[in-house]
Structure 1
């Protein structure tokens, strides 16, 4: 009887302590992730006006995973800058309520997803040569010559 009671208490302790170990982190402390599908490869990101380095790429650089985002503000602004100079940058506003809770392998994530299609940007202006004014005359070029008499 005494042995059965001790085994029962030990298993109860293990079950209850296992629940404490698996307790998820508080929702406010878990950072968010933004998954962006783009039509350009290897896009650079700015979060709230600051360059962001915590970025991963998938699908040959066309899927961008921006990680470690603070979900505290009501809206978070993103600026995506394509590596192709012919495409224009895009600004996104993502409300913090768009981050949905996901649990994968006992790890808690908050993920928001977006699809972005970059539009063609303004073509860079071609460099023009300085124009000459018609009223100005250029002085003639003096080309030195070697005369045997000058030596």
Structure 2
């Protein structure tokens, strides 16, 4: 009986640990921003992470992004671009550094991570380079 109880406890722990790995960006609804709120966060430094639900590259950086959102030193906020038109990039070299409002941003694909300090974009990470930054 004691072995069965120990086994059930062990299985339960594995199941609980596995559930945490299935978190989605939507699980962080309190950390989602939109066009109006992206540059109004009351923090001196924070990340904005742009994603789309049908983005394979977003899935590749998801674990690091979620870990940062949960307990990173720099707060991370999300913007879902599913309902926002993302134009094809005119060329591969573009920069959002220096932007201070949403209308100045050029987001041509996902995933993209911006670092803001005092309301101004100071760094930009595109695609899998996000894993290296976080």
The TM-score bracket by the shorter chain reads 0.3 to 0.5
Greater RCO structure (CA 8 Å; 6+ sep): 2
Which one has the bigger helix percentage?
Answer: 2
Which one has the bigger strand percentage?
Answer: 1
Please give the TM-score of this superposition, normalised by the length of structure 2.
0.35
Bigger Rg, structure 1 or 2: 1
